[in-house]
Amino acid sequence: MAEFPESIGKYKIVSLVAKGGMGAVYKAMHPTLKRHVIIKKLTIRGNAIITERFRREAQILLDFNDPRIVHLFDYFKEGNSHYIVLEYVDGMSLDVLLKKRRYLSGPLALHIFIDACRALKYAHDNGVIHRDIKPGNILISKSGSVKLADFGIAATDDESDDGLTKEGMTLGTASYMPPEQFKNTKNVDKRADIYAMGVMLYEMVTGKKPFPGNFNPETLIMIQKGKFESAKRVNPETPPVVSRLIKKMIRPNPKKRYKDMGAVIKIVDKYLRRYQTDALHQCLIDCMNTPNFEEPAFRPRTKKRVVALSLAVFLLASGGAGWWAWKNGYVHRYLMSDSWGAVKVAVRVPVAVKDADDVFIKAKLYVNDRKDFPDAGSGSISFSTVSGSQDDYSHRFESNTLYVKPGSYRIKIFVEQRIYWHSFTVDPISSLAKKGLSQTLVSVSFDSVVNRTIALRTEAFDALNGRNVTSATAWTVQEGGEWIPLEQLPPERLVTGTVRKFRAEAPEYYPEAFSLKIAPYQDEMVLHANLVPLPGTLRVTAPKKRMSLRLNGSSEIILGGEDMARSSLESFKGGDGEWSLPSGRYDLEVWSGKSLVRTDFIVAPGKTTTIVIAGTGGKMHIEKTTSN
């Protein structure tokens, strides 16, 4: 007998991948795309938090669009089970590759690692903390594509309102968790993921974890103090850049780790430029697909580096010092201060907009000839956070110093979605020095975040059969402590930067409520409600003899109530039976020996449908009545 069903929904099942107490994982065929997919099934009953996390994972992946994160094809509910349909990655997970290879060379490890970093940065930029980074959740296809998977315990910006992670709760895989995640998973931020990535990188280049796997008080103290044997000592061939990355990424104090994956990516990308990407990629494919493959010794592009170094020495000897002095403004300030001016741009941005590392700022300087506005030729303008400048209200940024001829200028400054135009005059450096100034300062204040109107779409479906009930659903929103129809809320009241509570209600269904924190730039929202039908009662009276019941072709039934738990009709052997069922239309089959009678009926909310089975043998018949 097969260990798996022939099909689930519209998907034909190919094989059972894994099975556990909470559900199963299947490999299946997509009916229209004609490609393999993975179906995750959740069958656990009575645990609303686990069910909501399963649905939350689907919602997170639905909003994602990055080639390095597994793609979501579908999410649906059938009977008492929830299903997620995901991209099938034909290859192996990183933990399987490490078991096969034990450890990887520094260049090859970083070749895999940087794609995982970019996937994680995309998640962080979209307000999602993974919280379960480990080699088992890094998938590698046979063609060498690296993908991040399993957002089952991920946290989002609005989780503070949904109660899925409570104060003091611990979630994650212990070997990869930072000290703060052991204490309280609820309040960890993206630095917890950065810590786990550091542990994973250590394992990739050494073949072992930095801390023992048997978690006892002594091990926990080691984790809290950050005491572990350096990767370089375990594997002397570990590149110094990898050792430095690991050391900073898994510091026990989150404030001393990298604040953003962008900083890690920048370091790894700079290191990998020394190697041929195609060669690393082909090596990864061969490591996965070729038995007993011996990884080659990768060498940096030394020839080009030697040529570049020789050229740099020559330029330095023949005038490089002068070029350096010009580039850094020493010539302008001390030798030509009457002919040149200096400009610096300062920008202030409220902390409510974004974290300092994520704020987008760009600027372009033009000559103000009041006609064509040609480029000022000042070179690129870059911005950095002013050290120690963050207060409770704003971040401060400053540009590099620009050296231009004295005169009239205009500057275009992009700060997030805003554009600023500033006209100003640049005086010679010598004139400014007489006033006690070193440069012309152009200041821009973002002032405040302007809330924007939200584009809202609502939809509702029957949680039992997936039927679209949007047209019959009324949506309300909480305003001033009262629930009012959504259409009565003025558009200017539905804006970004607020917390809103919504409720979906339809006749003969339980209402469903949403509590959402809307970030300043999330100006489009889709509310999708799965409404559970209100229950009625089915009462069956029959002779006490051997018989069996089938409801909608099955002996298993979904009970009424918001949890939609399952039960069985097998225990009914005649007499009186009573079940609470979701409202709707049903087909009933009654078997007694070889005799069969059928009927259909409707269960209405709050009402009782009574079915009386009379007669014996082949003369059985059904009487049914409905009462309040």
> Sign of torsion, CA 241 247 249 254?
negative
Distance from the first to the final alpha carbon of the chain: 45
The catalytic position among 115, 132, 150, 260 is 132
User: Among positive and negative, which fits the CA dihedral 245, 247, 249, 254?
Assistant: negative
Q: Of 466, 490, 467, 468, which is closest to residue 480 (Cα–Cα)?
A: 490
- The tokens describing 171, both together, are 């979630």
- Distance CA(571)–CA(547), nearest Å, equals 10
Residue 55, amino acid: R
- Report the alpha-carbon distance of residue 524 to residue 521 in Å, rounded: 9
Distances (CA, A) of 41 to 136, 138, 142, 435, 601: 19, 20, 25, 73, 31
Could you tell me which of 55, 56, 87, 60 has the C-alpha nearest to residue 71?
A: 87
Signed CA dihedral, 6, 9, 15, 17: sign only: negative
CA distance to 137, 579, 597, 599, 604, per residue, from 549 (Å): 44, 13, 10, 12, 20
Q: How far apart are CA 459 and CA 512, in angstroms?
A: 12
Q: How far apart are CA 573 and CA 244, in angstroms?
A: 71
What residue ranges in 22-115 does DSSP mark as E strands? 23-29, 36-42, 72-78, 81-87, 91-93
Other CB atoms within 10 Å distance of the CB of residue 401:
16
d(CA 478, CA 489): 9
Whole-Å CA distances, 77 to 44, 87, 137, 363, 464: 13, 18, 25, 50, 7
Q: Is 161 a catalytic residue?
A: no
Degrees, nearest 5: CA angle 154-156-160:
110
d(CA 121, CA 193): 10
Tokens 């980074």: give the residue: 133
How are beta strands 440-445 and 341-350 bridged, if at all? parallel
Residue 516: strand pairing partners: 500
Beta strands in 88-217 (DSSP E): 91-93, 128-129, 138-141, 146-148, 155-156
Q: Which residues are catalytic, by number?
A: 132
